[in-house]
Amino acid sequence: MKKLLVLAIIVIAQFTVAQTQHAWVYFTDKPNVATALANPITILTQKAIDRKNNHGVAIDNRDVPVNETYISQVKTQTGITVKAKSKWFNCVHVLGTQTDIDNLLNLSFVTAIVYADRSLNMSGRSTTEAYNSRAGEKFETLVMFNYGNSANQATMIKVDKLHEMDYTGEGITVAVMDSGFPNVHTMSAFQRLRDNGDLLDGYDFVDRNPDIYAYTGNSHGTNVLSDMAGYLDGQFVGTAPDASYYLFRTEDAANETPLEESYWVEAVERADSLGVDVVNTSLGYSDFDDSRYNYTTADMDGNTAFITRGGNIAVEKGMLMVNSAGNSGNTSWGIVTAPADGDVFTIGAVDGSGNYASFSSRGRTPNIPVKPDVVAHGVGTYVIASSGGITTSNGTSFSSPIIAGAMACMVQAFPNKTNLELMQLVRESASIYSNPNNQLGYGIPDFEAAFITLSENEIENPATIQIFPNPAKAIVHINLPETTQNTTITLGNLLGKTIKVYTTTTSSQRVDVSELAAGMYLLRIEANGETITKKIIKQ
């Protein structure tokens, strides 16, 4: 018996020493950065370049992919498995024993290692510097939906008023990060998406599978997507039924490990490269299966969790990041989870009457910055199940996509406004903006009021020029001041090449873009001795 006991102790000791660890391995540099930045089309899609140019977002070395040669060499090291990569942080997420991971420091191109078990970072094997490095317009009423079951979800935030002005997300690209999307490619609720070519693509980062529909173990993503993109005439209408959608699985529903943070960052980097405008994430991280990796409430400071820092970069890159606050309001944790603690647009939940939902995660105390940002319907929220039927569910998982879809409509309406400008405008429209609290944030937003405010500001600009619709499919209308005479309007591409020239002596002009390829173009308007350049988007 004594020998068996000794043997058991030895086995346990060996297991402890050989325990698998999660870590981020940071690299020193990237290949051909100058060449890539001089030719950004080699690393980003044209849509991504257009969005960055439109919002004044710099294309920098973080947009350059990770050195694949470095990754290949890491993969060959003893005991190391590479599970994810991040170009923004210039790192890879690896699994291995502490000894094997530490040995990666012998590679000349490895600059730092940061363990998910932060107690292992005290020995000096990681560097804090690397950890934190920055690696009006007049519109006709065109659309009248019969929302059916989802009516309250739309009317509570008045996104239905945007729909009536034909802002339904058309031309805007949304990425959804979630845990599974079974039957989206076959359900009648998403037939409108498929018919319009708006169900773009997907990728399963957890299983490394380009077939996003192969995994059927969890349908949370299908439910979430429905609150934005679902459409069953007379029964259910999402808040952005005509947007285009990428679907990314980053959440492993069977496990909770720090690796999911890296999957998420990798997915949002891909979204940025694809030119995505809006991202919805109905996920949050605080506790893991292995308590060594757990965050504390003090860590929800907006700059500690890997996923939070990734979300902050995504916001900096110009994407409108919308994230559920979390469902910890009536637990001992209580507050928002990562990445909702960061710069993302954080969404809490209320019931159908606008009252705070007790499960909705609160902001920190003191609540600076204010979290959640705003709230939406999250109690008894109507969703479409993977079976195709309409049902109800509770959670900030569903208030978040309701807002994300509405934000896509705002991006469509005001394509020249930055993500930060739109976020702030929506905050200011909310019900308790002047007196926010840590349960409701700034309250329930009013998208009609936000639209009117921004439209009036646009009309009152010094140029007093109205250009609509923008984006446009066929005809762009230009309204000039009544005193304008002998105007020359030049339509050109972003390289400065002239496509068409119009001259007019009246205060209005129609510009035909119907035969142009989709993309961004420039309008140069010369009138009254002044020249003004405006960007327009052809759908």
Q: What is the pLDDT of residue 446?
A: 96
pLDDT 10s digits, 30-52: 988 999 999 999 999 999 999 99
CATH superfamily, with its number, for domain 2-30+65-131: Malonyl-CoA ACP transacylase, ACP-binding (3.30.70.250)
* pLDDT at residue 10 tops 50: no
Q: What is the pLDDT of residue 534?
A: 76
Domain ranges of the chain: 2-30+65-131, 148-455, 466-538
Contact between 289 and 390 (Cβ < 8 Å)? no
Contact between 256 and 290 (Cβ < 8 Å)? no
For residues 84-96, average pLDDT: 95
Q: What are phi and psi of 81, to 5 degrees?
A: -120, 125
Tokens of 224: 């979430």
Work out the pLDDT band at 492, boundaries 50, 70, 90: confident
Q: What is the pLDDT of residue 417?
A: 92
Work out the pLDDT band at 535, boundaries 50, 70, 90: confident
Q: Rounded to whole angstroms, how far apart are CA atoms 80 and 407?
A: 42
Least confident segment among 13-17, 74-78, 186-190: 13-17
Whole-angstrom CA distances from 501 to 286, 352, 477, 489, 511 are: 57, 53, 15, 6, 9
Work out the pLDDT band at 507, boundaries 50, 70, 90: confident
452-470: burial string, b at 16+ Cβ within 10 Å, e else: eebbeebeeeeeebbbbbb
Q: Rounded to whole angstroms, how far apart are CA atoms 186 and 343?
A: 35
Tokens of 446: 């009013």
Tokens of 176: 């959804």
Q: What is the pLDDT of residue 127?
A: 42
User: 148-455 sits in which CATH class?
Assistant: alpha beta
If you write DSSP's letter for every residue of 228-263 in order, what string do you get?
HH-EETTTEE-S-TTSEEEEEE---TT---THHHHH
Mean pLDDT rounded to a whole number for the chain: 88
Q: Write the single-letter amino acid at 238.
A: G
Least confident segment among 244-248, 361-365, 472-476: 472-476
Q: Is residue 219 helix, strand or coil?
A: coil
Tokens of 221: 């993503």
pLDDT 10s digits, 118-149: 888 854 434 434 334 333 333 333 457 899 99
* pLDDT at residue 316 tops 50: yes
* pLDDT at residue 154 tops 80: yes
CATH 3.30.390.50 fits 466-538, yes or no: no
* pLDDT at residue 64 tops 80: yes
* Residues paired with residue 25 on neighbouring β-strands, in sequence order: 92, 113
* pLDDT at residue 200 tops 50: yes
pLDDT 10s digits, 404-419: 999 999 999 999 899 9
506-531: burial string, b at 16+ Cβ within 10 Å, e else: eeebebebeebeeebbbbbbebeeee
